[in-house]
Structure 1
Amino acid sequence: MVKEKPDLSFWQIWNMCFGFLGIQFGFALQNANVSRIFQTLGAEMDTIPLLWIAGPVTGLIVQPIVGHFSDKTWTRLGRRRPYFLYGALATSLALVVMPNASVLWMAAGMLWIMDAAINVSMEPFRAFVGDNLPKRQQAKGYAMQSFFIGIGAVVASMLPWILAQFGVSNQAPEGTIPDTVRYAFYAGAVVLFAAVAWTVFRSREYSPEQLAEFEAAEPASERHHSERRDAAAYRRSALAWLSPGLLATFAIWLWDWHPQLYILSVALMVFGLLQLWVAQSRARGSADNGMATVMDDLFSMPTAMKQLAVVQFFSWFALFAMWIYTTAAVTGVHFGSSDPSSAAYNEGANWVGVLFAAYNGFSALAAVVIPVMVRHFGLRRAHLLNLLLGAAGLASFLVVSDPTLLLVAMVGVGFAWASILSLPYAMLAGCLPAAKMGVYMGIFNFFIVIPQLLAASVLGLILRLGFDNQPIYALAIGAVSLVIAGVATLRVSQNGAALSQSPSVS
């Protein structure tokens, strides 16, 4: 007899989401300290965005690949859990090595490795919720993940500051990473692996046969099927992407524009070339491979996913601006130093860790409050309101002079962060087929990665040309971007079961 997925208990959902605490622990250590590490090792301000592209690029490549293969995986550990475990092991090793980097290129290389490993663990967690929970509980699962993201990031962001209070040295000779940062990364390696291992060994997964049975119980109108594009369609699309990429690359070279713009032009060309390769493969009648399947799925996205792409784009552009430039903005404006070897700079950098911990702490509280907002305002308006709160928080950095009062600004940023991590997934829940849950979650990550690549391409140039290279104005740009994302939320379709769900952690 055809059946539906049973509801899971609070503690079952808790166990399956607990690993996100560890993943975010490592992610938060990276966000709060990588710019500091790069500056300590001699990076110039306008090159830092280039060094940060490790995360977006590795996410763009790794997540859809991991999603595609995890959809087809079945082992003794299940479908998604092998990726959790081995990704966590690699990330923990990278966390131990990174703060011991002695030169800039080594730190940048370790960032690439760390981001790749984090993405291997992180991507299947989103699909894990879709696999294990019935649609009526999926939003609750995403909110629980948001809760753990907030909790994990609070301690991780504050660790260097906490260690300094216990007497660990917060200064080091020029070109050397302080002990507070090194020991924080060591602790992060232990916490990340332990939390992910808890989820791996305390959760279960449905077999592919069971998932197929559950999907068969859904009304045919709710199922989404990808269309197979022909070679001619891919050729036309390839030309549409290759042409501006080639022209832009030539213009950057000819007029000696800023090298960061090559990130954008080369990305356009790479996407065009990938489509051309799929077109040629399909024209030869070759059997479809993973790349062709991912491309077909990309161009056959559900309507709600296309609309949410705009929301995600502007949301993550703002977040990337905040992660890259908050340390430089606060140390320069609120603590009066841009010298990474000075006491004032390191005091300010530690305070940024506290601010990042604060917004993550407020996001954990927001994960409990947001369901009430959803019940009163609906998913779209609740997300709009949260993004506007985040915009107000970022904008306040330009007018608040007392660094302590910046904690108030983090309330708004925390609500925006919790909302970004849960409500778009709640709006998307129920639109994705079970057999392609992983690959579609990986594709959805494109709209997180692409704005980060754009930010890495143009933010440094915008600041240098328009704002006298003052990083504080990157936060103003982020505020405007969050407002645009909020307005775009109102265009997301209200149809479908997903929009009737109210996320909750209770």
Structure 2
Amino acid sequence: MDELSVKASSLGDNLSAPDGSDLPEPRRDFHDEQYLSQCSLKSRDLLLLTCPNLGLQVCWFLLMSSGTPYLESLDISKSITSLVWLTGPIFGAFAQPIFGILSDESRHPWGKRKPFILCGASCVATCFLALACAEDITDGPTNAPTADSDSTKHWYTQVFAIACVGVITFAMQAYQSGVRALIVDNCPPQQQAAASAWSMRWNVAGNLVLSTVGFLDAKRTFFRPEGNAKFKILAVVTTACIVVTVGLVSYYVADSSQNPRGKSRQPLTKLCWSMLCPAELSKHWNQLPPVSHRVCTIQLFAWVAWFPVLYYTSTFAYETVLPYNFARELHEKGQLDIRLIEHAELHRSSSMLYFAFATFATSLLLHMIEHAMPAFDHTQPRIWFFSQCSLGFCLLLTFFARTGATATIIISVMGASWAVAMWIPFALISAEISQPSPSKLGGKTGWILGLHNMAMSLPQIVSAILCAVILGALRWLNIGDGIAWIFRLASIAVFYSAYLINKL
């Protein structure tokens, strides 16, 4: 198990024997597979190794929960905003697998994964701060501002903000691929499920941090008088999470720069072409290990539904309290009830907070089940199956959601399914690819994780386009609950993914 042997040496000083005692020698020959299989990382080391997931999650959660309102505050139209959010799944589908290949082939002195983590994280943190200060950066000093100069500066602000989002979603792919591969690299096979569980818990913590701040703002309006100060505060919190977690893992976790099996690096153009060429891509897809192949196939359908759930959940809660037709009628009559709008905004924020709390509670429950059941690893597909069924029923229950409280309950149960979706697919794949030479792609951790990310990203592109078409058609037909109908249609993909999970 050449690559895993080298990978595990990064935390060699923190490995412990099965009986819990420290190993007598600080350095071992980690090319010995039998020795590695008898070792395990301590809980504190798993906690440290997976902590960068906190920084990753706050980045995605900030974009999903506050990105659209912030861009709209810059007078960027909803149609352009929808196209901007397509950059995430597009880069995830094609850029992240390329970064995974490059990291597999890397021989950088810092290691195979750290250069991608550090460069990607630095770029993301810088661009988030720049995005939050877009108006301040693009508004240069003027002696006598005019309407033309104001509109020009505003146009500059919009272009600058869109460019920042594009750079963030691109750099996130290097950051994310490096973090995920580093975790697989440094964990013994028997602890891959535990590492995935800790990654999920850090993701939940990221959701809780930002959703709590957003809820407090909606409840107490701490930042609203200062315009976009709320987004600036959230960007600072996000940057702090990135700096602390990436700094910790970079300092304490070693990263090997050795290439598996002494293979020479392939030309960059050949690597990229193998990712973009349909024939080459199909070839590598068919070479995936059996469990990874099935999980990726399931994700192709599951993420058709997860895209609207993640991006439109807060809007669904808002529209349940303040339906589109009702809001438009009030606006046309000039009788817009500010208190009703504030009530709808409160449900928008509280729904995301309860979603995060439900995810957190489910993660704790899964942790207890894992320790209570000796054969928990064999139960993971079954838990994933029931979770997907639960998500599908929640999407259908939108037929009966008429109040903000009902919508919040439905969204909370969706949060429980999200906890499972963040853990079990990654645990199944990580456990398989950490074994010795699982396939013709043996040792290609970044490659396999990149293909898995592609399986999650491609359906998001399709789903985003379908959502835009459906919302436009429903708006033309004067049907107000467009988000609810998107959820109901998404249940078809959810139940089919559950059928595929059942075949696992």
TM-score when normalising by structure 2: 0.74
Is 1:465 aligned to residue 473 of structure 2?
yes
What is the SS of the residue equivalent to 2:181? helix
Amino acid at match of 2:119: Y
- CA radius of gyration, larger in: 2
Alignment correspondent of 1:488: 500
Superposed counterparts of 1:348-363, under 5 Å: 348-349=344-345, 351-363=347-359
Kindly report the root-mean-square deviation, in angstroms, between the aligned alpha carbons of the 2 structures: 3.1
Instruction: Give the direction of change, closer, same or farther, for the CA distance of 1:45–1:293 in structure 2 (3 Å limit).
Output: closer
- State the 1:364 CA deviation: 2.8
Alignment correspondent of 1:316: 303
Is 1:114 aligned to residue 155 of structure 2?
no
Q: Which runs of 4+ in 1 moved over 6 A?
A: 338-343
Instruction: Give the direction of change, closer, same or farther, for the CA distance of 1:428–1:187 in structure 2 (3 Å limit).
Output: closer
Match for 2:209 among 134, 139, 155? Answer: 155
Instruction: Give the direction of change, closer, same or farther, for the CA distance of 1:464–1:137 in structure 2 (3 Å limit).
Output: same
**Cα offsets for 1:272-298 (capped at 9, x unmatched):** xxxxxxxxxx9xxx9982124443533
Contact 2:315–2:348 (CA<8 Å) still a contact in 1?
A: no
Alignment correspondent of 2:315: 328
Alignment correspondent of 1:436: 444
The separation in 2 between residues aligned to 1:91 and 1:387, in whole angstroms, is 32
> Sequence identity, in percent?
16
Match for 1:143 among 197, 201, 206? Answer: 197
**Cα offsets for 1:77-114 (capped at 9, x unmatched):** 33212222221111111211223445544433222111
The separation in 1 between residues aligned to 2:206 and 2:291, in whole angstroms, is 30
The separation in 1 between residues aligned to 2:364 and 2:32, in whole angstroms, is 35
Match for 1:70 among 103, 107, 121? Answer: 103
The separation in 1 between residues aligned to 2:270 and 2:387, in whole angstroms, is 41
Structure 2 unmatched ranges of 5 or more = 1-30, 136-156
Contact 2:322–2:341 (CA<8 Å) still a contact in 1?
A: yes
Amino acid at match of 1:452: Q
**Cα offsets for 1:213-258 (capped at 9, x unmatched):** 9xxxxxxxxxxxxxxxxxxxxxxxxxxxxxxxxxxxxxxxxxxxxx
Alignment correspondent of 1:367: 363
Alignment correspondent of 2:32: 2
Contact 1:67–1:123 (CA<8 Å) still a contact in 2?
A: yes
Alignment correspondent of 1:290: 271
Is 1:15 aligned to residue 69 of structure 2?
no
Match for 2:244 among 194, 203, 220? Answer: 194
- State the 1:141 CA deviation: 0.6
Instruction: Give the direction of change, closer, same or farther, for the CA distance of 1:471–1:185 in structure 2 (3 Å limit).
Output: same
Instruction: Give the direction of change, closer, same or farther, for the CA distance of 1:343–1:202 in structure 2 (3 Å limit).
Output: farther
- State the 1:453 CA deviation: 0.6
Amino acid at match of 2:209: V
Alignment correspondent of 1:445: 453
- State the 1:475 CA deviation: 2.2
Alignment correspondent of 1:417: 418
The separation in 1 between residues aligned to 2:178 and 2:196, in whole angstroms, is 13
Superposed counterparts of 1:241-390, under 5 Å: 289-294=270-275, 295=280, 296-336=283-323, 337=327, 345=341, 348-349=344-345, 351-370=347-366, 372=369, 375=375, 378-390=379-391
Is 1:133 aligned to residue 194 of structure 2?
no
Could you tell which deviates more after superposition, 405-414 or 442-451? 405-414
Instruction: Give the direction of change, closer, same or farther, for the CA distance of 1:109–1:288 in structure 2 (3 Å limit).
Output: closer
Match for 1:58 among 84, 91, 102? Answer: 91
Structure 1 unmatched ranges of 5 or more = 214-281, 493-506
Contact 2:318–2:344 (CA<8 Å) still a contact in 1?
A: yes
Amino acid at match of 2:228: P
Alignment correspondent of 2:21: none
Amino acid at match of 1:306: H
The separation in 2 between residues aligned to 1:288 and 1:148, in whole angstroms, is 36
Contact 1:155–1:357 (CA<8 Å) still a contact in 2?
A: no
- State the 1:206 CA deviation: 4.7
Could you tell which deviates more after superposition, 78-87 or 393-402? 393-402
The separation in 1 between residues aligned to 2:121 and 2:203, in whole angstroms, is 15
**Cα offsets for 1:99-148 (capped at 9, x unmatched):** 34455444332221111122211112222222111211111111110111
What is the SS of the residue equivalent to 2:33? coil
The separation in 2 between residues aligned to 1:57 and 1:91, in whole angstroms, is 17
Instruction: Give the direction of change, closer, same or farther, for the CA distance of 1:149–1:178 in structure 2 (3 Å limit).
Output: same
Instruction: Give the direction of change, closer, same or farther, for the CA distance of 1:408–1:435 in structure 2 (3 Å limit).
Output: same
Alignment correspondent of 2:131: 98
Contact 2:93–2:455 (CA<8 Å) still a contact in 1?
A: no
- State the 1:164 CA deviation: 4.7
**Cα offsets for 1:143-199 (capped at 9, x unmatched):** 110111011111112323324545423367xxxx63223322222122222222222
- State the 1:76 CA deviation: 4.5
Could you tell which deviates more after superposition, 428-437 or 39-48? 39-48
- State the 1:45 CA deviation: 4.7
TM-score when normalising by structure 1: 0.74
Amino acid at match of 1:474: I
Instruction: Give the direction of change, closer, same or farther, for the CA distance of 1:196–1:403 in structure 2 (3 Å limit).
Output: farther
Is 1:179 aligned to residue 229 of structure 2?
yes
Alignment correspondent of 1:258: none
Is 1:478 aligned to residue 465 of structure 2?
no
The separation in 2 between residues aligned to 1:361 and 1:491, in whole angstroms, is 31
What is the SS of the residue equivalent to 2:41? coil
- State the 1:13 CA deviation: 0.6
Contact 1:317–1:452 (CA<8 Å) still a contact in 2?
A: yes
Superposed counterparts of 1:29-68, under 5 Å: 29-45=62-78, 48-68=81-101
Contact 2:84–2:162 (CA<8 Å) still a contact in 1?
A: yes
The separation in 1 between residues aligned to 2:343 and 2:236, in whole angstroms, is 21
Contact 2:110–2:257 (CA<8 Å) still a contact in 1?
A: no
Could you tell which deviates more after superposition, 335-344 or 177-186? 335-344
Instruction: Give the direction of change, closer, same or farther, for the CA distance of 1:95–1:342 in structure 2 (3 Å limit).
Output: farther
- State the 1:355 CA deviation: 2.3
